[in-house]
Chain A
Amino acid sequence: MEFYRSHVLVCGGTPCVLEGCKGVRDALIAEVKRRGLDREVKVVETGCLGPCDLGPVIVVYPEGTLYQKVRVSDVPEIVEQHLLKGRVVTRLVGEAPQAGVVKYEEPTYLGVQERIVLRNCGVIDPESIEEYIARDGYRALAKCLTEMKPADVIEAVKKSGLVGRGGAAFPTGLKWSFTAKADADQKYILCNADEGEPGTFKDRLILEGDPHSILEGMAIAGYAVGADKGFIYVRGEYVLSIERLGKAIEQAKALGLLGSNIFGSGFSFDVEIRKGAGAYVCGEETGLIESIEGKRGEPRIKPPYPGTEGLYGKPTVVNNVETIANIPPILLNGPDWFRKFGTERCPGTKVFTLTGDINNKGLIEVPMGITLRRVIYEIGGGIPGGREFKMAQTGGTSGGCLPKELLDVPMDYFTLPEHGSALGSGALLIMDASHCIVDIAECFMRFFEHESCGKCTPCREGTARLHEIVAKIARGEGKPGDLELLDELGSVMQVSSLCGLGQAAPVPIKTMLKYFRDEFEAHINDRLCPTGTCGI
């Protein structure tokens, strides 16, 4: 039996890979061996540890010391000082929030962060099914298959209050119950890992850091609704996610945790990966289904909803990666446990990718209902240079914008819409006062014009006109009445577009008009860009 006194975790998430973590890992392994420590110290590659902006990041256990921006040239010092002599190399510790790090003797160090979805991210080697199992992996599946009836599983998910994390916030248990009720010879579970929202990369890091949690969650969903086949639709650029998922599927099959007659229960489940080609609209569930069927990625007319008529016309559950990652802990610990986190109406946590004008960029998991102020100032370390906060964009382009008036509003799926905004998928883009609202709006509208699939008129024409009008305002060619026109056009699109793309495209414009109308007016009436961004 191997016994190591120290584990060195090297973050192998994509942001850290880009910073050269592979070289650091190889250098660590070589140096540990050279110093004769290889039987005492184990080097493990993990998923994202959180502070992606400070990569490559490594953590040394049992102390739980997080080192940031580690270069190959730092490796001999870390090995000599820390691994041999037990002295922390303080110059590499820095200010990074020790997000994923479980501190020895200080398990409460996580502070305001709660880790349900990211429970294994940055803790285990994602390519080792044994490490996943060590941390209670596949126990929830075992419990469901041997102790619970499918209806009990759905009931537990309903009671947990989990709502979809893909943006639309539909209650997950209710969604499953539609598919469970549907009578069909074949049903499917689809995991939506298309993640097309600009600025969002949480699903990617969950898949890279803990792929087995997705397989387990999908198998549980399959058992609950009576589906024996699952597909994971992953964005094609997510090379590492695809690679690790592929390995995970093989390992699970080898141990019989996927395949036929799992735990001797008679239940069988298989998972396949499908790669997306990068169209934003293919993240929309029916566009995604068309794409898997090998057709052009255009949304279908709803109803019928996928729950009763989805992939190949069969009842299909479509869930987001983060939604699925919540499933095993909910089943293992029970719905009451889950409801201890977050708010009454919206239990659990939310994973965000924190980007933009913020000191600590990266991946965070916080209780649902936390305020933006706490995220920015307690976790994010504030805005660089102490500059003034202007707005945050939640959920990428399709979400809403949160001005400083909303800094203290609880961020959950139901409260933000009451203020005309939305929580969306999980991007949290912070912008300081140096940015021009009209410029940002122009950028967003360009995105929607480009991504509209063109199937329905309100969106195909509407996104083009929204962009055109905003671009004119930015050039100093706006006319009186433009703002009213934007508003009216937006309202028409919201009620008449076929899918969520066209329905959500006007949301950022509408919230910006609500909270920053004076800036638009300055561009139109005074031909002036208050921040000096637009060249007028």
Chain B
Amino acid sequence: MKTVEELERIRKQAQAMTRLREGKETTRIVVGMGTCGIAAGARETLSAIMDELAKRNIQDVVVTQTGCVGLCEQEPIVDVIKPGAAKVTYGKVTKEKARQIVASHIVNGQVVGEWVIASA
């Protein structure tokens, strides 16, 4: 290694590998993966979100799942929680909607109002 910049470059790239384990506050996307959610297609929704994040090379977002929240008719349900902002809950998130949510809410900070079912 000849320069400090070279180390910095490797560090930046590699940080994506361990960021999940740092416990730092970042944007979170939570997908409802209860039985009803999975039946309604939550698995595809989750895959679409993952794919869209990877395509856009977005590293500082954490994707997790949760169980049934009792809104079965709204499944698949996706929460977006940005640090310091209220939680936004989207309902009936198909894989196409999921990609749209990543593009406008995660990337551009624009909540997709018409699909929101709750905000707290």
List chain A positions with a Cβ less than 8 A from chain B. 1-7, 9, 39-40, 61-64, 84-87, 102-107, 123-124, 128, 130-131, 133-136, 138-139, 142, 146, 255-257, 261-264
Contacts and interface: CB of A to CB of B under 8 A. Distances in A.
Interface of A is mostly: loop
Contacts of B38: 85
9 contacts: A1-B59, A3-B58, A5-B20, A62-B20, A62-B62, A86-B30, A131-B18, A262-B1, A263-B4
Contacts of A257: 1
Contacts of B47: 40
Contacts of A262: 1
Interface stretch (B63-71, B91-99, B105-113): B63-71
B16 A3 contact: yes
Given A5-B62, A103-B23, A87 B1 contact: no
B3 interface: yes
Given A3-B50, A64-B23, A134-B18, A85 B65 contact: yes
Contact of A102 (B1, B7, B10, B22): B22
Contacts of A85: 33-34, 38, 65, 67
Contact of A61 (B1, B10, B21, B57): B21
- Say which size band chain B's interface belongs to: 35 or more
Contact of B11 (A2, A124, A128, A136): A136
Contact of B50 (A5, A61, A139, A264): A5
Contacts of A6: 20, 63-64
B11 A9 contact: no
Contacts of A102: 21-23
B64 A86 contact: yes
A297 B17 CA distance: 44
A86 B33 contact: yes
A105 B65 contact: no
B120 interface: no
Interface in B38-73: 38, 43, 46-47, 50, 53-54, 57-59, 62-67
A262 B11 CA distance: 17
Given A142-B4, A263-B3, 9 more contacts: A1-B59, A3-B16, A3-B59, A39-B50, A86-B65, A104-B23, A134-B16, A138-B7, A255-B10
